[in-house]
Each structure stands twice: as structure tokens, then as C-alpha cells.
A and B are shown apart, each in its own frame.
Chain A
Amino acid sequence: MSDNPAIATFLDPKLVRDGLSRRKVLDQVFVIVGLLVMLVCLAILAVLFIDLVRDGSERFTWDFFTNFASRRAERAGILAAWVGTTLIMIVTAVCAVPVGVAAAIYLEEYAPKNWFTAIIEINVTNLAGVPSIVYGLLALGLFVYQFDLGQSIAAAGLTLALLILPIVIVATREAIRSVPNAIREAAYGLGATRWEVTKDHVLPYSTGGILTGMILGLSRAIGETAPIITIGALSFIAFLPESPFTSEFPFISFGWLNDPFTAMPIQMFNWVSRPDPAFQSNAAAAGAILLGMTLLMNGVAIWIRYRYRKKINW
């Protein structure tokens, strides 16, 4: 017990016990509030998903995946849309990931800390918050007209790559920063160069975080509608882009990059805006499938993160 009378009463065992039970109640209250908030979020997602699935239930057939768009709702499918979305995602990933990861490595491992890199950092963070339609306008001017890519898969992929670049950069930097400095020191101490430290240690140990960031970025991109409408995606399309695989050498073709396209969110938007209620269930089904694709990608991200965390725990 303290000699100080001002605090002596606070140290009385009975008071301590009473105070403790009050603090524990607060503790419990927070657990319940947190749990409720989380359940509300989950419930909203679940309701949305179930609603979409119910509305579109009669459209979940094989034909829905293999048919092109049609004026008759029951014959319309999402073939062009999901192929388009997949190809766009490939272009987006191939462009955004290497550039984003390289930028993050530069900012974290190489760049000196001065006003210039500080400005770059602030800008990267701000870019993540720029409305996607602005990226669409930029891409319309830059990719479609300036680079003359036209209303193609390449233009759409590049647009979305631009859009998710800040997300990839921020996530990668976060992952790189989570590699303890002690590991870098150990490698430098053995005589490694900066690039050796990066490629042998920093990158392998942050792969989980980088892949997670990449998939979160792609999950954002897959649902984006505004920017690709801005650059002029078609909403009614009855043919597929050129196949990426060919029967003769070199078996891979990039002709599809220049082809016009449509994408899942655009197909949905198109159907939703039609008066015929039959199209509403098409839209719902497409929405459920898009949501499923996103959840699948997120699931992969979580799985990857789990696997890497299990292997590396600092």
C-alpha cells in the first residue's frame, strides 16, 4: 500500500476488485460490438449474394456461359463478357504487377529519403483515391487516341492496370516493410549487394503480401465499369477476340490485344438498363458470377497469405 493518501484508496483490494469487474464488462461490451459490426457486414454481403443467386437462378445453365449476348433474354449469355474480363485481367496483371512491385522495391529499398521521394509517396497514396472515371478519361486520351490502341483489350487492360497500380505499390511496400531489418543486416553483413538482398531475401519473404496486394488490386479492377465504358467498350458483341493459342508455331498469338471487347460489369449494366424483366434475372446471374469470381480471387489471396505466414513467422 502506498503512503500517499491520494492513491491509497485506489489500492484498496475491495475497490480494486470492483473496478476490475467494471473494466471486464467494458471488455465484453467491446467484443460484442465488434462481433455485431462484423456480422452486419457479412449479412449484407450474404443477402446481396443470395438475392442475386435467387433472381438469376434459372439462368445458371451451361448455355449462359457459352452463349453470346442476344436480343432474347433466355438465349443471351455471358461468353464474350467473361472471356473479355479474363483477358483484360491478364493484361492488367501483366502490366500492373511488375511495374508496381518494381516501384515499391525502389521506394523501399533504393530511394534516398528526401523531399522528392516524399512527394512520390504522397502522390502514390493519393492516386489510390482518385475516382476511376478520371482514369478512364486519362486512358481515353492517352491509350485510345495518343497511342492509337483504339477500343481494344490492350487499352482496357492498361487502363485498369493504371487504376490498380497504386494499390499494388502500397500493398507491396507494406509487405516489404514487414521484412525485419535484421534480415537485411544479416545479408548485407555477409557482403550482399542491394540487389542480392532484394532478390534473395526481401522479395521471397514478402511474396505472400505482394500476391495478396496483387489479387486485391485485381479484385478491384474486375468490377470496374466506368473507366472501360469511358474508353468505349462495346456492350453488345457477338464474337470472341482472336484466340491467344494458335495451331502453328509459335502457338501463341497476341492479336486479341487489338480486338474490341466487352466485360462482365458492362454486360450487367447493359442488361439492367433494359425494360424487359427477363433481362433482370440475366443481370442478377451475371452479378452473382462476378461476385463469385471476386470472392474466388480473394479466397486465393487468403490461402496464399496463410501458406506463406505458416512458412515464415518472424
Chain B
Amino acid sequence: MMDSSTMARAQLPPQVGERSGEEHSLRNDQPVPAGTPERGESPKISVTVGDTRKVRTLEVKAAVENLSFYYGQHRALKNLTIPIADKQVTALIGPSGCGKSTFLRCFNRMHDLQPDTRYEGSITLHPDNLNLVGEHVDPIEVRMRIGMVFQKPNPFPKSVFENVAYGLRLRGVRNRATLAEEVEKALRGAALWDEVKDRLQDSALALSGGQMQRLCIARALATTPEILLFDEPTSALDPIATAKIEELISTLRDQVTVLIVTHNMQQAARVSDYTAFMYLGELIEFDEAAKIFTNPGKKATEDYITGRYG
């Protein structure tokens, strides 16, 4: 029942061609916001989602191909191939220990901080065809381009302002006016500005859990990442704070490609455009979220989302 074949096949290499009008109707149920900026240099990639459905053209921000990951001898991820669509929300679901977080952390090379870890395969970041897990690619460069929000809110024990400004300071921004402007922009982007604008110099640890998590999102947004990774961002939050974060993630898809790991099926259904279901380090099914949650192609997926195991 749990075969290793995947539903998703990204057809590579990229077909360079005109951006078709169809990509704006990727999801029938949700119109793509009109203001999405176009980036002419991005390659176009055809993605066949499922066997029976028509081919749609969309920009792929990152193409994961045959990705395997090893902790020492243990192979935690097995031959994953998933296209991550540009300016879309892709959710990773699956039972505990299935490798969702491990997969997510490949994108910003967090595993490199641990000894004895190894990647195989590739994650190609477009438009510049950078293999994120390539041996000769500097993990720090990768992390400067790909932001991450963690499971537990982890603001630095500094002021609200310094938390958001830190990423820019690392990049050498020194001008106070520029910093202030960018910090405000990031805080607005994370829907936190109105709540903290009078307490920018207060300790970030004085904020509530939900505010802290939005601060962490602002901290990541301030450096204008190309992909934003969320590792169960709401698992430590109450329902109201969770709703705010979910709403925020929905609005973020205008500016950034989002990859989110979640334990909460409803959350995945609510926020994601695409959903990947993983089990024991393998990709079981990848499809449009609407399809996964209403008419999954695999029995295992159906069992999981209906709560029969996991």
C-alpha cells in the first residue's frame, strides 16, 4: 500500500517559452492576486500534476529532484522529487517522524550544523539554477536567500527593533534611516506593526507567543527571502494566534514562495495551494491541496487525512 512511487513528476529540463495565461488560474477556487510581480528571467517549467490532468505551466521556484538525506548511515529522506511552485504555498504533511521537518531543513542547509549528515540529489533554485544542497554551495549563502520560521517562537532577547534589523545588519546595512524603514516594512508585512510600533525598543521577550512568532516572521521577511520555510509555526500557539499566522501566510504568497510543515490537516487545507504527503521519508503523494484533501489519489493519503492513522 505504501509504494514509493510518487504522483508528481516534474518534467525537466525547463521549457523556455512564453508565460501562458493559464498559470494565473492554477487553482480554480482561488484567484491569483493581480499584483503578482512578473520576473521575466525565471524559467518556465511544465508540471504534470497527476496522470490524467492537463498540463499547466507555472514558474517553479525550486525543483527538488531525487533528494535523499542521511544522518550518518540512516537514510531519512528517500528520493524525493517535488516541484515548489513560485509564489505559492506548498504544505508538507505526514505523521510524526516522516521526515517533513528534515526535508524542510534541507532547503536552508540547517543540517550542515550537525556533523555526519549528507545530501544526495538536488534542490535547484530558480531563476539562477543554484543547487541548494550542492557540495560547493555555501550554506550561509543559501540561508541568506531562504528564510525560516521555527516551531517555537525564538526571538533574540534583544529589542523588537534589533530582532528585525539583525538580518539586515548581517548583510552590512548600517544606515539608521534605512534600517528603520525596512524594519517598519517587515513588521507591517508580518501584520505586527500596529501592535509594536510604540514598543520597538522593548524586549522582544515581553511580547505574547503569537506576537513573538509574527516577529520571527518579520525578522525573516526583512531580508527579502526568496523562499520562506515554516516549520510547524503554530504548534505552540493558541487558536486565535494561529488564525492570525494562517491569515498572514495567505497574504505572504504575494511576495514569497512559502513552504510549510504542519501537523494540522485543516491548516494545510486552509493555507496551501499544493500539498505533499510524506510517510517514512518517502513522498507518497503530491498534488493541488484541493485535490489532496477532497480526492486523494492514494489510499494511504486518504487514510491519513481522514485520521485513520498518524
Interface residues, chain A, CB within 8 Å of chain B?
Answer: 112-113, 180, 182-193, 196, 200-201, 205, 311-314
Contacts and interface: CB of A to CB of B under 8 A. Distances in A.
B154 A180 contact: yes
A189 B225 CA distance: 11
Interface stretch (B117-125, B141-149, B294-302): B141-149
Contacts of A182: 150, 152, 154
Contact of B220 (A112, A190, A312): A190
Contact of B113 (A188, A205, A313): A188
Contacts of A193: 140
Contacts of A190: 143-144, 147, 166-167, 170, 219-220, 223
A162 to B, nearest CB: 32
Interface size class of B (residues with CB under 8 A): 20 to 34
Contacts of A188: 110, 113, 143
13 contacts: A186-B155, A186-B216, A189-B108, A189-B110, A190-B144, A190-B147, A190-B166, A190-B219, A190-B220, A191-B170, A196-B170, A201-B156, A313-B205
Interface in B147-192: 147-148, 150, 152, 154-157, 166-167, 170-171
Contacts of A205: 157
Contacts of A192: 140, 170
A58 B155 CA distance: 57
CB-based closest 9 A-B pairs: A191-B144, A182-B154, A190-B167, A189-B148, A312-B157, A191-B143, A186-B154, A191-B140, A192-B170
Most buried by B among A188, A189, A201, A312: A189
A175 to B, nearest CB: 14
B203 A311 contact: yes
Contact of B156 (A112, A186, A196, A313): A186
Contacts of B108: 189
Interface in B206-233: 216, 219-220, 223
B115 interface: yes
B220 A189 contact: yes
Contacts of B216: 186
B156 A183 contact: yes
Most buried by A among B154, B155, B203, B223: B154
A113 B166 contact: no
Nearest to B151: A182
B152 A200 contact: no
B154 A191 contact: no
B140 A112 contact: no
Given A200-B166, A313-B205, A189 B157 contact: no
A191 B205 contact: no
A196 B144 CA distance: 14
A279 to B, nearest CB: 53
Contacts of B154: 180, 182-183, 185-186
Contacts of A187: 156, 166
B272 to A, nearest CB: 22
B150 A185 contact: yes
Contacts of B170: 190-192, 196
A182 B151 CA distance: 9
Nearest to A308: B157
Contacts of B141: 191
Most buried by B among A191, A193, A196, A205: A191
A148 B238 CA distance: 68
Interface in B112-142: 113, 115, 140-141
A112 B115 CA distance: 8
Contacts of A314: 157
B113 to A, nearest CB: 6
A313 B204 CA distance: 11
B4 to A, nearest CB: 31
Contacts of B150: 182, 185-186, 189
A186 B115 CA distance: 19
A158 B156 CA distance: 37
A311 B204 CA distance: 11
Interface in B71-95: none
Nearest to A192: B170
Given A190-B147, A201-B156, 10 more contacts: A182-B150, A185-B150, A189-B143, A189-B148, A189-B220, A191-B167, A192-B140, A193-B140, A311-B203, A314-B157
A184 B113 CA distance: 10
Nearest to A186: B154
Most buried by A among B141, B148, B166: B166
A201 B220 CA distance: 17
A187 B147 CA distance: 11
A180 B150 CA distance: 13
Contacts of B113: 184-185, 188
B281 to A, nearest CB: 22
Contacts of B143: 188-191
A216 to B, nearest CB: 24
A78 to B, nearest CB: 43
Contacts of B144: 190-191
A312 B157 CA distance: 6
A204 to B, nearest CB: 8
A182 B157 CA distance: 12
A185 B115 CA distance: 15
A185 to B, nearest CB: 6
Contacts of B166: 187, 190, 200
A117 to B, nearest CB: 11
